[in-house]
Structure 1
Amino acid sequence: MMYNVKPYIHLFFITIMVVACMPCIFAQSGYRMWLDYRPLDNDLAIRYREQLRTLVFPITGETDSVAHAELLEALNGLLGHEPSHADTSNGPGILLVGSASTLPATGPVSEALALLPEHDDAYVIYSGVYGENPCTVILGGSDKGVLYGVYAFIASLQCGEDITQLSKVACPKIQLRLLNHWDNLDRTVERGYAGFSLWDWHRLPGYRDPRYTDYAKANASLGINGTVLNNVNANARILTQPYLEKAAALADIFRPYGIKVYLSARFSAPVELGGLADADPHNPAVQRWWKEKASEIYRHIPDFGGFLVKANSEGQPGPQNYDRNHADGANLLADALKPYGGVVMWRAFVYEDTEPEDRAKQAYNEFVPLDGQFRDNVIIQVKNGPIDFQPREPFHPLFGVMPQSQLMMEFQITQEYLGFATHLVYLGTLFSEVLQSDTHRHRPNSTVAQVIDGSMNPQPLTAIAGVANTGTAINWTGHPFAQANWYAYGRLAWDPDVDASAIAEDWLRQTFGNNDTFVHDVLPLMMRSREAAVNYMTPLGLHHLMGWDHHYGPGPWIKDKPRADWTSVYYHQADKDGIGFDRTAIGSDALGQYAPEVQAKFENPQTCPDEYLLWFHHLPWDFRMKSGRTLWDELCHRYYGGVETVAAIQATWAAQKNRVNNDTFQEVADLLAMQYEEAKIWRNACVLYFRQFSGMPIPDGLEHPEHPLEYYENLHVHVIPGI
């Protein structure tokens, strides 16, 4: 596929007359994402120009400067108009932008101030009257709040809202809202499907690619305020002086956008870099080494955010190498960072070196006994589910069971198990499904969101992380619709309770324009896409059926690997008697790690939701489902239904041909054609594989796979990015 690499930053030079003649045709490479300020409909633009004649925006620092520049660029692009600047707020059509310290607390500003939450990142967008003239106020709790408010106001314009009736009050529910980059120092990206790493380490710090600034803009527009630059499978060299100088250059670029830099630290760095005999947390020499390293880092990056650590998991070094526990390891680094205000995000993605009874239980078993032993600047980073970012998992049992510790969420934005950047899968529904899951801990309606935002168990630190899906692809994420997953994550990081459908609609309008017919058609497409993927990959609670190592395509037959829990047969346990992993009390008892109310919901296969049935139960092939079908027939219908949904998505997209530019239309159409073929491979491979155990025929009315099982078992994918 050929890409038009010009970012179209200057789209606002297109005349309003041309846009009026061609309201649905616009050219974009995807580089500008939801910040592509193409001209609005002529009537709407005229109305906004009347309402935004004059701008009052006192500039007091770098963050104000970037907010001011972004606002003017948006107004020029959307309206073909830049308001006049004024020092005082008089006359019609005034837009007042600033904070309590920069705007006079009179008239509508004082009214907005009364609504403003006490938080630096908070903002109010308020329609008021100054004298006899209507005006709009964007008031922030600080310069960062102003920046976030400006981006929210721009989004209101993009979505065609009535700006004479605004009263938006926004305050983030989560303090630290981060992207985790699994980027390596050689610029490869583990599980990255959009090209190479954004960070050109070779040319840093001397050359500062303008793309770094555009990356910062995109994150600031969503309220993301932190980025971990390197892979959790860390290379210790990231902590050496040359790389600290490079990271400092990125920190300088990101700082005006309210974004702090974090680094993944390799636990064995004192040995690899410092020449010490060990990295034992109780070794005074090791403690001293980390304190000196922290001092060095803060000399380069005064506002350094802290460390992300993967330890004693998948072969990574950690405190257990020295018969210490996770609290010992995390507290070692926390003590080194404490004088500077830094934090340690210690990942709970762990499992024993020996074969476990059930890998889903490992994190709970290792961390719950340590509740209350972590420093107050340590936060435990927990994946959304207990296995590994599967298309669907129940929420992780750690949420809600460590009241004396700080927990944060880790989502995966990059589609490691969901078709990479080839498949259209909107993840806002996955994120929301997890966040709104009820842990039933301590009080009714104890959602995962309430755990991580601190409202259930008050904690000094609240945080959320998303494994980034960005790369050097011109459209950043490889698939045009994968941008929506970055966008949805950012919106939910700010407020975990926002509706996933509302987020998707905002993204569509900001990215593709305000054509109501287009939005009406494509929004349901997005909302169905994740369920379709679950159905053609891992329906009814199945999981971990993907290809070995690369995780692309089906592999339910995978066995005989170095560890049982690195195989598919370990998880689906299909045999002549049935299928599924029994995690009830008579099985692994992983269900016992949840609250009694959750156990009661899932322990009875007759009442267990279909979506999690085979996650918690091993059931006979003729088990009677809620649909009235046997388990085997239902499994087949789910697989076939997933493929049918992709076909329906293709048809819906085909109808949008004259509503988006041809390059974007064709790219999505081509990728959907690939997705359809790959969905059929998933369906055929899995149905044929499981049929040999069920001994039952494919139900009437469903087409038979065109090849035998051996054909699918021998398919080899030769070029796979991100492994």
Structure 2
Amino acid sequence: MFKHFFAWMLASSLVLSVHAQNGYDLWLNYYPVQATAQKEYSNLLSSIQLDDTNPTQRIILREFEIAVRKMLNQSIVQQSNASIQLKKEGHSSLANLPAEGYILSHHYHKKKPVVTIYANDDAGLLYGSFRLLKELQTGGYRSQEKDIIDYPSIQYRVLNHWDNLDRSVERGYAGISLWNWHTLPDIIEPRYIDYARANASIGINTVALTNVNANALVLTPQYLEKVKALADALRPYNIRVVLTARFSAPIEIGGLKTADPLEPAVQDWWKKKTAEIYEYVPDFAGYLVKANSEGQPGPQDYQRTHADGANLLAAAVAPFNGIVMWRAFVYSNETPEDRFKQAYNEFKPLDGSFAENVLVQVKNGPIDFQPREPFHPLFGAMPKTPLMMEFQLTQEYLGMATHAAYLAPMYKEVLEMPTYRPDANATVARIVTGEQDKHTLSAIAGVANIGNDVNWTGHPLSQANWYAYGRLAWNPQLSSEEIIEEWIDQTYLLSQEATDILAGLLLNSREVLFKYMTPLGLHHIMGWSHHFGPAPWIDNMHRADWTSVYYHKADSTGIGFDRTASGSNALAQYAQEIQQLYGDKNTIDENFLLWFHRVNWEFKLKNGKTVWENLCFRYEEGVQEMQQLLNDFLSIQNEFGKEEGKHIEQLLRLQLKEAQWWRDACLAYFQSKNQRPWPSGFTPPPHNVDYYKEIQAKLKFVPGI
């Protein structure tokens, strides 16, 4: 059951701020507490003991002041022997507590509750403070509990912003970029601070400010002074900045004629440029690099390897304890090999060749952030190299900001998969945390879904993905259910029944989307370039793997991509146990059937129906289940603020409309290829495939390209 310590009553609407009505406050609403908890909370939150000359402890004080005012309509004062204490000594477990960890110690003094937050560093005190406030908001606070000891499982917990210097956002669906480069460094907008608060509350400690399709200008003094201003604002919240490094920067802004990583002049240029960055930002975390992918420059332009390129930058940041995050999302413009295989083929031979401060950043799946993918075969294949996960929060292939899709179940599906290298204990999560291969360096990245929309993420329910990513980056063992419970309890003021309904809606949302978009393992059948809407007919782009037909290969005889030994043999990149899991079309999880197998339209699935029949009814199930999600929300809509409730309703109605579009367009196309009769009892699409092609062709101004 969900825990609620907050009043649910009509009068509560009088104390809700305007921001709480429009989603600006995210999960930091700090709703008024129930009358039954008010006395205990009032005593606990009456005073605080900390060092307000310390920048981080000063913002801790500010956060408590905000929370206490909103939760109790009272103030909190500083004094010695206070009811809340921040300490870096005095607890026996501190000696073994990792960096950024904390201890919450609950006890009584003269019959009044006292909580001491212990940590070895200011970051731990910050995270412990947010943990206490979360416990108070969600009803998890218990004054007589044993000590709570918590610390992050992953060292660098990164938000990757694909933001450009002109404030456009690649794959951004929530407005323009947060970063107003024009007014920096002179103006630090309050929104930057609220962004930092939100990240700190869920443990995100690193931010890549700019797009992986990098612009070298961000490394020039003109922009470095702007980066410094942002870094200074974020630093008290334990957030360090990363910059995306364009590999050709020595040519574009350095005046060199080459960017060859083995050229001494290039090495010297990067060392000097990096030292310059550290003069502006002393705690600069390091570089994020996309190289030799989708036309980006890289070391292969000079017949060098990815390790050569990464090690060039690693040597430059090493004196400052910086890191390099080198993306493995690569595929050649010339190689006709199955795109599924190319990252593995390029990076697996380089295992052990990277400098010790390099992490290879690997997307969760081998293609590109599809609604469902098998885990990337590189996980488990490079034991000598720290591998970091790259998830996508922004819904590039999942309906953008018009579709509700709670992604924690997808993240968990990947993290919990065993790689079987060497055994079933070697899960993707254990590889990412470094535990499996005893790496001391660990990181995880999430491509941000944040813009300057008032509610940050465009779709109000998409805030849950930002929250869930941060929580799983801190602790990959958390469940999707407990995360959504936390988020709802902090974000909305709902009855228990409404909370349960909203949680169920969100927990089912991604699976519903999968059914009406890409059932049975279909993938990459979205609109070209913008990736919006159905377009399984795309067949005429300048590279085969930018078309839809490359991935589904539907014709009159069958459908699916054969990645077994009789096809591209991509399965061979996995351990034998995974090959067995996916290799038999008769026993495979049918959600991955068409990922790994090409089958005849008459091939029968486990329910006794053919692939064609199942495809039709899976699409139909997706639409019907989307209708149910809408109905579920309508049943609780009156518990939301009028404007936000209406906004969510409109979005869900649009999602239902687009789910029907997906169903009709895809099935009209596939039926045009197989010429099979429609299954008995199934309602065919109302138009032929040409009608749906025309709809897609008119989508000229889709955001986020």
TM-score when normalising by structure 1:
0.94
Question: 1:100 is matched with which residue?
Answer: 88
Whole-angstrom distance in 2 between the partners of 1:613 and 1:22: 53
Contact persistence 2:217–2:223 (CA under 8 A) = yes
Percent pairwise identity: 50
Whole-angstrom distance in 2 between the partners of 1:606 and 1:23: 59
Whole-angstrom distance in 2 between the partners of 1:610 and 1:126: 48
Contact persistence 1:24–1:515 (CA under 8 A) = no
Matches within 5 A, 1:262-301: 262-301=242-281
Q: CA deviation at 1:630?
A: 1.0
Matches within 5 A, 1:231-270: 231-270=211-250
Render the CA deviation track for 1:262-284: whole Å, top value 9, x for unaligned. Answer: 10000000011111111001111
Whole-angstrom distance in 2 between the partners of 1:41 and 1:25: 18
Question: 1:595 is matched with which residue?
Answer: 575
Question: 1:456 is matched with which residue?
Answer: 436
Contact persistence 1:136–1:163 (CA under 8 A) = no
CA distance 1:441–1:708, shift in 2 (3 Å): same
Matches within 5 A, 1:144-159: 144-159=123-138
Whole-angstrom distance in 2 between the partners of 1:548 and 1:134: 59
Q: CA deviation at 1:18?
A: 6.9
- Determine whether 1:345 maps to 2:325: yes
| Aligned partner of 2:344 among 347, 352, 364 | 364
Question: 1:720 is matched with which residue?
Answer: 702
Q: CA deviation at 1:328?
A: 0.3
Whole-angstrom distance in 1 between the partners of 2:65 and 2:252: 49
Whole-angstrom distance in 2 between the partners of 1:339 and 1:180: 24
Question: 1:19 is matched with which residue?
Answer: 11
CA distance 1:21–1:77, shift in 2 (3 Å): closer
- Determine whether 1:28 maps to 2:21: yes
Question: 1:141 is matched with which residue?
Answer: 120
Question: 1:3 is matched with which residue?
Answer: none
Q: CA deviation at 1:497?
A: 1.2
Whole-angstrom distance in 2 between the partners of 1:511 and 1:542: 35
Q: CA deviation at 1:575?
A: 1.3
Whole-angstrom distance in 2 between the partners of 1:628 and 1:82: 66
- Determine whether 1:384 maps to 2:384: no
Render the CA deviation track for 1:449-497: whole Å, top value 9, x for unaligned. Answer: 0000011001131000000011110000100001100000000000111
Whole-angstrom distance in 1 between the partners of 2:133 and 2:398: 32
TM-score when normalising by structure 2:
0.96
Q: CA deviation at 1:321?
A: 0.3
CA distance 1:433–1:206, shift in 2 (3 Å): same
Whole-angstrom distance in 2 between the partners of 1:80 and 1:480: 27
Name which of structure 1's ranges 695-704 and 67-76 shifts more when overlaid on structure 2.
Answer: 695-704
Whole-angstrom distance in 2 between the partners of 1:651 and 1:404: 51
Contact persistence 1:20–1:41 (CA under 8 A) = no
- Determine whether 1:70 maps to 2:59: no
Please tell me the residue identity of whatever aligns with 2:116: V
Question: 1:114 is matched with which residue?
Answer: 93
Please tell me the residue identity of whatever aligns with 1:48: Y
Please tell me the residue identity of whatever aligns with 2:656: Y
Contact persistence 1:99–1:142 (CA under 8 A) = no
Matches within 5 A, 1:119-198: 119-130=98-109, 133-166=112-145, 167-198=147-178
The unaligned stretches of length 5 or more in structure 1 are 1-13
Question: 1:531 is matched with which residue?
Answer: 511
Render the CA deviation track for 1:583-623: whole Å, top value 9, x for unaligned. Answer: 00111000000000000111001111011111000011111
Contact persistence 1:115–1:169 (CA under 8 A) = no
Question: 1:416 is matched with which residue?
Answer: 396
Question: 1:9 is matched with which residue?
Answer: none
Whole-angstrom distance in 2 between the partners of 1:347 and 1:301: 23
Question: 2:34 is matched with which residue?
Answer: 41
Residue 145 of structure 1 aligns to a residue whose secondary structure is helix
Contact persistence 1:342–1:377 (CA under 8 A) = yes
Contact persistence 1:25–1:659 (CA under 8 A) = no
Whole-angstrom distance in 1 between the partners of 2:481 and 2:15: 25
Matches within 5 A, 1:244-643: 244-513=224-493, 515-643=495-623
Q: CA deviation at 1:719?
A: 2.6
Whole-angstrom distance in 2 between the partners of 1:423 and 1:286: 46
Contact persistence 1:376–1:460 (CA under 8 A) = no
Whole-angstrom distance in 1 between the partners of 2:640 and 2:17: 6
Q: CA deviation at 1:82?
A: 2.6
Q: CA deviation at 1:380?
A: 0.2
Q: CA deviation at 1:39?
A: 1.5
Residue 714 of structure 1 aligns to a residue whose secondary structure is helix
Matches within 5 A, 1:651-670: 651-670=631-650
Residue 461 of structure 1 aligns to a residue whose secondary structure is coil
Contact persistence 2:359–2:387 (CA under 8 A) = yes
CA distance 1:366–1:15, shift in 2 (3 Å): closer
Q: CA deviation at 1:243?
A: 0.4
Contact persistence 2:51–2:58 (CA under 8 A) = no
Whole-angstrom distance in 2 between the partners of 1:165 and 1:702: 59
Q: What root-mean-square deviation, in Å, do the aligned CA atoms of Structure 1 and Structure 2 show? A: 1.9
Whole-angstrom distance in 1 between the partners of 2:664 and 2:501: 29
Residue 22 of structure 2 aligns to a residue whose secondary structure is coil
